[in-house]
Amino acid sequence: MSDEFAESNTERTDILFNKRLRYKQLVFGEGQNNIVSFLDGEKIFYGRIDRKFVPIETGGYVLKPINNTSDPTSGIVAINFVADMFNDMINQFKKQNMRGKISLDNEFLSNLKAYKAYVDPRKEYNNYKSIYLDTLKNLFYSKQAQKFENFNQFVNTLVKFLSVSIDKQPFTYTGFLKSKHCTVMSSGLAIEIADAEYQDDLRKYDDFVQSKNWPTFVNTCNIYGFMIDYNVPWRIVADIGALECLQRSISYGGGTVEKITHKFFKPASQHSYEIFKKTMLEAYNYIKPEYYDEISVCQDGSIMKKRKSPMKYDADRFYRDFNDNYFLSLYLKMRIKEEQPNLDPQETDRLIKEAITTVNKTGKKEVIHKKFESIINKTFDKRGSLSYSINSNRLRTLDDFESGLIDNLTVSGDSNDFSGY
C-alpha cells in the first residue's frame, strides 16, 4: 500500500482524506489551466444543466462514432463535433509520435484510443430505478407498510418515506441527472482514453501525471478545446466555451454556447414527467402484495382476521382514475423535495398552482420544462455551489474587516460561466 497516494476507499477516513488532498495538490500544482475539478461548484453539473440551471440531456441524431477505439465493435460515440475534435487530436498525436516527440512506453498516452464515451442516462436511470424499487419494497415490508388498499394510500406512504432521503437519493429522472449516480459521461461531451480504477490515485499519478507524455497530452488537449478531469486524468471533456469547440460546432448548427445547448441538448423534464407516471404505476404494482391480513378485535374480545387484496390497475383505469393534474402536482412536489430550493411553503404552493394553471390553459408543459425547473434548480446559496462558496467567502471577509483582522476590502466581479475554466 502506498504511503503517499490512495489506491482504494478502504483506508481510514482521515488517512484517505490526506492522501486524496496530496494527489490533488500535486496535479493542480502543474499549473495547466485546462486541468479542472468536476467535483466542485457548478462544474459538478457540467453538461447536464444549461445556463438557466435547467437539467438537460442529449442523444440520438447528434451522436457520432469515434474512429480510434479500444474495441472497434463497441460502438463508442460522442456528440458529433466532439467526436471530430477527438479524431483530429488523435491524428495530431500520431504526428507527434512520428516526429519522435512521444514516448512509446505508456499504455494509454502513446497511442490515444477511446475506451468509453457517451453513456445513455436513460439506461442508467432504468438500472438505478430497479435498485431503487427493490429498496422501497424492502422498506415497505420492514415497516409493515405494505397494507394499503389502493394507489392513494400507497402514495401517502411513499411520500413519507421519500421525504427523508429524496434530496440525496432522487426518485425522478431529472433528479437522477443531477445526482452522484450520473456523471459528465452522460453529457456526450466526455471521452475516457483508459480503462483504469477511479479510486487508484497511485496509478493516476504514476501512469499519467508522471508520464513523459503527460505535458504533450495536456497541451494537445488544450489546443483542441478539451479539459482534463483532475480526478480522472484519462477523462477529457469538451469545453463548449473554448474557441476550438465553438468553431468545430458551427458546421453542425452551433457556434455559440447558447446555440450548442439548444441544438445538441433538450430539457430533461420532457422525458422525466412522461416516465414518472409509468414509474408510479410500476412502483405500485411491484410493491403491493397479492393480499394481506387485516386483524380486528370484536366486541366479545375475539379476534377476526380478514384477508384483503389491494386494488388492481391496468393502464387504462390508472390514467382514468388519476388525471394529469394529479400527477403534475405530485411530480412538482417531488422535484421541489429533490432540489430543496430556498422557498417557503407559501411560495412552493404558489409555484405549483401557477405551473398547473398554465398547463391547463395552454395545454403545453413547457412551463415545467423551462420556468419551473429554472426556479427550483438555481444554485444560488445552495451549499457546495460556486455561488455559495463566493458568498460565504464574502461574508467571512466582511467579518474579518469589521473585526479589524484585515485593513481593506477588495471588490471584484464574479464569473458564473459553466463553460470555461
> Hey, where are the domains in the chain?
13-119+184-255, 121-180+269-377
Furthest-apart CA pair in the chain: how many Å? 97
Q: Indicate whether 216 pLDDT > 80.
A: yes
| Selected residue with higher pLDDT from 117 and 413 | 117
Concatenating the DSSP letter of every residue in 231-242 gives TEEEEEEE-TTS
Q: Indicate whether 297 pLDDT > 80.
A: no
| Selected residue with higher pLDDT from 199 and 298 | 199
Predicted pLDDT of residue 150: 94
Distance (Å, whole) CA 417 – CA 386: 10
Grid cell, residue 319, equals 390514467
Average the pLDDT over each of 8-17, 104-113, 201-210 and give the range with the smallest value: 8-17
Cα torsion for 76, 79, 80, 81, to the nearest 10°?
Answer: -120
Q: Indicate whether 274 pLDDT > 50.
A: yes
Q: Indicate whether 403 pLDDT > 80.
A: no
Yes or no: domain 13-119+184-255 corresponds to CATH 3.30.1380 = yes
Distance (Å, whole) CA 82 – CA 228: 14
What residues are paired with 57 via a beta bridge?
A: 266
Are 310 and 149 spatial neighbours (Cβ–Cβ below 8 Å)? yes
Mean pLDDT for all residues in the chain: 86
Ranges 22-31, 44-53, 385-394, most confident: 44-53
Residue 302 carries which DSSP code? -
Are 235 and 39 spatial neighbours (Cβ–Cβ below 8 Å)? no
Predicted pLDDT of residue 170: 96
Predicted pLDDT of residue 1: 60
- pTM equals 0.84
Q: Locate all alpha helices (DSSP H) within 119-268, ordered by sequence.
A: 121-142, 151-165, 173-177, 201-203, 214-223, 243-249, 257-263
